[in-house]
Amino acid sequence: MRPLTPVTPRARAVLGVSFFVLFVAVWAAVTFGGLVPKIFLADPVQMLRSGWVLMTEMDFAHDIGMTMWRVIGGFLIAAALALPLGVMMGAYKPVEAFFEPFVSFARYLPASAFIPLLILWAGIGEAQKLALIFIGSFFQLVLMIAVTVGNTRRDLVEAAYTLGSSDSSLVRRVLIPGAAPEIAETLRMVLGWAWTYVIVAELIGASSGIGHMITDSQALLATDQIIFGIIVIGLIGLASDLLFKWANRRLFPWAQLGR
Whether the CB-CB separation of 251 and 187 falls below 8 Å is answered with no
Count of residues in contact with another protein, rule CB under 8 A: 24
* C-beta closer to another protein: residue 57 or 167: 167
* C-beta closer to another protein: residue 93 or 153: 153
Q: How far is the CB of 161 from another protein (least distance, A)?
A: 4
* C-beta closer to another protein: residue 244 or 252: 252
Q: How far is the CB of 180 from another protein (least distance, A)?
A: 7
Binding of residue 255 to another protein (CB under 8 A): yes
Q: How far is the CB of 251 from another protein (least distance, A)?
A: 10
Binding of residue 180 to another protein (CB under 8 A): yes
Q: How far is the CB of 181 from another protein (least distance, A)?
A: 8
Distance of CA 127 to the CA centre of its chain: 19
* Binding segment (CB under 8 A) for another protein, from list 71-79, 210-218, 226-234, 246-254: 246-254
Distance of CA 38 to the CA centre of its chain: 32
* Binding segment (CB under 8 A) for another protein, from list 44-52, 205-213, 232-240, 247-255: 247-255
Q: How far is the CB of 149 from another protein (least distance, A)?
A: 14
* C-beta closer to another protein: residue 2 or 259: 259
- Taking CB under 8 A as the rule, which mask of x and - marks residues 72-91 in contact with another protein? --------------------
**Closest alpha carbon to 145 in 94, 106, 203, 184:** 184
Residues 140 to 179: which contact another protein by CB under 8 A?
153, 155-156, 158-166, 169, 173-174, 177-178
Whole-number Å distance between alpha carbons of 170 and 186? 22
Binding site for another protein (CB under 8 A): 153, 155-156, 158-166, 169, 173-174, 177-178, 180, 252-255, 257-258
